[in-house]
A and B are shown apart, each in its own frame.
Chain A
């Protein structure tokens, strides 16, 4: 099962290595990880999607808490959080296929961000499932490059 952790950390050198190393050492697999400074430049938010493979999340959370640079950990259940991911997809296109691809993009509210003779670059945001879906629809046209940010999340409501 995959779990989303939102971890507020001090924005200091080496913090990413400490967090990533801890997951590795305790035998947890990081599925995706997104990190950037928050509105306060001294703090960063890490959104970590972890593959639990039946292991208890509690232990990794407690170990994370012990890192001096970790300030706060939120463990999101799917309905408690707004979760999004962004993908840039470069796909092969020809005169014949371009219109079809643009039609797929419309359905997914994806944006064409670059066009060339034989390719389109597409930007799409959404849940992981949505991105998986557009990727699978674009596959037959031959994907040249794909970059996904990994999931970011904030809790719903005011808390």
Chain B
């Protein structure tokens, strides 16, 4: 079959199961864009900014488990993707970014719209390619998708010079890829798994500690099985939210800076930390020297470089979380093992949970915490996906939205990218057309990407956006209040922010304001039941703070608030 390079890209994408692609075209991707116009199998979502294209692809991957695909032209199109690629890299999300490049004959001459995107993205990709011969397209695309989606997933960049897109080739798709330097360890070492089981049996104060790796490997059922079978309390990182049901009695809540008192106290007192798919980020661990001081640590992760990176591990297990836990659960079942030596600890945890529930503030004003907990209640029976920006509203969403399944909380964890929420809602909605997708956003975060309301309007995506409008870069303001003598500087958004209702209406999107508790239920219902997109400008109390809080660098028992 004779195809041009551009057609070969499209054919390869089809064969790889791609059905949706987010992007903006340009001079260097004209042949590719034209080839994409001639396929029925792939829908092109025209975005308003390439950063949003990358975030949408990222959230699409998080919501569906498939590889997300985005595209941009050379030069500024490609550099606009950079934040999105870095975001996917930090959270280990499988995306493939296809960029146009100037023709091979002029690469290196500072040609019009030339940028060395494979060079620029080197430290933030899992792998990247500059394809200089179209004959390599089918193989390298297969390779790229394989690398993006296996092992510890991550972003892959494919740079396609314009002449390569026009080169005619004989298309042949590879049956499999062969990468001598890339062989992720999937199965855990049985001896290590046995050791982990021994530690579990011995432990009188165990804590299971789960993160994004559990979501990525679809290990949530194995986690639940283990937790329930042995009755082990579960703590989670921001990236692990939903992987263990929030409404489960054994769920202790989030760890770290804005984690629950129960979880952080349990971490400081446990004798075994059974960590699955986590990377011991500083926002999660606090002061590493005093992290889980009495605990032996079992660490299951697919990336050997994560094991021992930040904490000393007693039982390292390299492997896919689901497969390792399945083997462990099978050992437990086959030997009919029961665990009871830790039940006093479980009771202790339940007592803490009762003593330190996350509470919304006692206030007659519309507080963001109360609003978010109301959204949670109203949407509880729905097929709910929450996306967020970055800041206080993100932490409150993690605290007050109840989610009982994985891939439902889509947030920028590692990079902390303001502006992720809106394009993430687009990507999640495209991937899950029947889900109720709510972007709980900050007024600051939203304004970094609001142009993509245009994308929502264009495709009539029934995304709901709740702007937690506190007229502040709230999280920065909180730090200025607590650690910089309340000297607020460069955090006030009151002046210069638009009327969000008028703005949304200008895009043809239904919108409304809520500013008091009395009208809250009605407004939330209206939003949830509205068939199309909806923006709710929630004018909340301005100077609320996120508590509990473990200040940066403090240890997890130095908790402010929440008691």
* Chain A contacts to B: CB under 8 angstroms: 9-10, 13-14, 17-18, 21-22, 25, 58-59, 62-63, 65-71
User: Which residue of chain B is the closest to A9 with respect to CB atoms?
Assistant: B181
Residues of chain B contacted by A69 (CB below 8 angstroms): 181
Bound CA span A11–B237, Å = 40
Report which of A10, A14, A63, A70 forms a contact with B118, defined as CB distance below 8 A.
A14
Q: A71 contacts B118, CB within 8 Å?
A: no
Q: B179 contacts A66, CB within 8 Å?
A: no
User: Which residue of chain A is the closest to B119 with respect to CB atoms?
Assistant: A17
CB distance from B177 to the nearest CB of A (A): 11
With most chain A CB atoms within 10 A of its CB, the pick from B118, B182, B303, B305 is: B305
Kindly identify, within residues 298 to 321 of chain B, every residue whose CB is under 8 Å from any CB belonging to chain A: 303-305, 308-309
Q: B309 contacts A68, CB within 8 Å?
A: no
Bound CA span A17–B120, Å = 11
User: Which residue of chain B is the closest to A62 with respect to CB atoms?
Assistant: B305
Residues of chain A contacted by B485 (CB below 8 angstroms): none
Q: Does residue B536 face the partner (Cβ distance < 8 Å to A)?
A: no
With most chain B CB atoms within 10 A of its CB, the pick from A10, A17, A68, A69 is: A68
Report which of A9, A13, A65, A70 forms a contact with B305, defined as CB distance below 8 A.
A65
Among listed B45-53, B94-102, B122-130, interface-contacting one: B122-130
User: Which residue of chain A is the closest to B307 with respect to CB atoms?
Assistant: A62
Report which of B127, B128, B305 forms a contact with A63, defined as CB distance below 8 A.
B305
Bound CA span A14–B309, Å = 27
Q: B305 contacts A66, CB within 8 Å?
A: yes
Q: A68 contacts B181, CB within 8 Å?
A: yes
Residues of chain B contacted by A58 (CB below 8 angstroms): 308
Q: B122 contacts A68, CB within 8 Å?
A: no
List 20 A–B pairs whose Cβ atoms lie within 8 Å, in order of A's numbering.
A10-B181, A13-B130, A14-B128, A14-B130, A17-B119, A17-B122, A18-B122, A21-B122, A21-B123, A25-B123, A58-B308, A65-B304, A65-B305, A66-B303, A68-B127, A68-B179, A68-B181, A68-B182, A71-B180, A71-B181
Q: Does residue B147 face the partner (Cβ distance < 8 Å to A)?
A: yes
Residues of chain A contacted by B179 (CB below 8 angstroms): 68
Q: A62 contacts B181, CB within 8 Å?
A: no
User: Which residue of chain A is the closest to B147 with respect to CB atoms?
Assistant: A68
Bound CA span A22–B124, Å = 11
CB distance from A28 to the nearest CB of B (A): 14
Residues of chain A contacted by B119 (CB below 8 angstroms): 17
Q: B147 contacts A62, CB within 8 Å?
A: no
Residues of chain A contacted by B122 (CB below 8 angstroms): 17-18, 21
Bound CA span A13–B122, Å = 13
Residues of chain B contacted by A62 (CB below 8 angstroms): 304-305
Bound CA span A63–B181, Å = 13
Given A9-B181, A58-B308, A68-B147, 16 extra CB contacts under 8 A: A10-B180, A13-B130, A14-B118, A14-B128, A17-B122, A18-B122, A21-B122, A25-B123, A59-B309, A66-B305, A68-B126, A68-B127, A68-B179, A68-B181, A70-B181, A71-B181
Dominant secondary structure at the A interface: helix
CB distance from A2 to the nearest CB of B (A): 22
Bound CA span A10–B123, Å = 19
Bound CA span A25–B305, Å = 15
Bound CA span A63–B304, Å = 9
Residues of chain A contacted by B128 (CB below 8 angstroms): 14
A-B interface, 10 closest residue pairs, ranked by CB to CB distance from nearest: A62-B305, A71-B181, A68-B182, A68-B127, A25-B123, A21-B122, A63-B305, A62-B304, A70-B181, A68-B181
Bound CA span A18–B124, Å = 11
Residues of chain B contacted by A25 (CB below 8 angstroms): 123
CB distance from A99 to the nearest CB of B (A): 50
User: Which residue of chain A is the closest to B127 with respect to CB atoms?
Assistant: A68
Kindly identify, within residues 35 to 78 of chain B, every residue whose CB is under 8 Å from any CB belonging to chain A: none
CB distance from A27 to the nearest CB of B (A): 12
Q: A59 contacts B305, CB within 8 Å?
A: yes
Residues of chain B contacted by A17 (CB below 8 angstroms): 119, 122
Residues of chain B contacted by A13 (CB below 8 angstroms): 130
CB distance from B178 to the nearest CB of A (A): 12
Residues of chain B contacted by A22 (CB below 8 angstroms): 123
User: Which residue of chain A is the closest to B124 with respect to CB atoms?
Assistant: A25
User: Which residue of chain B is the closest to A13 with respect to CB atoms?
Assistant: B130
User: Which residue of chain B is the closest to A12 with respect to CB atoms?
Assistant: B129
Bound CA span A21–B309, Å = 19
CB distance from B27 to the nearest CB of A (A): 24
With most chain B CB atoms within 10 A of its CB, the pick from A14, A21, A22 is: A14
User: Which residue of chain B is the closest to A8 with respect to CB atoms?
Assistant: B181
Bound CA span A69–B180, Å = 8
Bound CA span A131–B118, Å = 38
CB distance from A8 to the nearest CB of B (A): 9
User: Which residue of chain B is the closest to A25 with respect to CB atoms?
Assistant: B123
Residues of chain A contacted by B182 (CB below 8 angstroms): 68
CB distance from B427 to the nearest CB of A (A): 26
Residues of chain A contacted by B126 (CB below 8 angstroms): 68
CB distance from B10 to the nearest CB of A (A): 25
1/0 contact string of B458-478 vs chain A (CB within 8 Å):
000000000000000000000
User: Which residue of chain A is the closest to B152 with respect to CB atoms?
Assistant: A66
User: Which residue of chain A is the closest to B122 with respect to CB atoms?
Assistant: A21
User: Which residue of chain A is the closest to B143 with respect to CB atoms?
Assistant: A68
Bound CA span A63–B303, Å = 9
CB distance from A26 to the nearest CB of B (A): 10
User: Which residue of chain A is the closest to B181 with respect to CB atoms?
Assistant: A71
Residues of chain B contacted by A14 (CB below 8 angstroms): 118, 128, 130
Kindly identify, within residues 251 to 309 of chain B, every residue whose CB is under 8 Å from any CB belonging to chain A: 303-305, 308-309
User: Which residue of chain B is the closest to A59 with respect to CB atoms?
Assistant: B309
Residues of chain A contacted by B304 (CB below 8 angstroms): 62, 65
Kindly identify, within residues 173 to 213 of chain B, every residue whose CB is under 8 Å from any CB belonging to chain A: 179-182
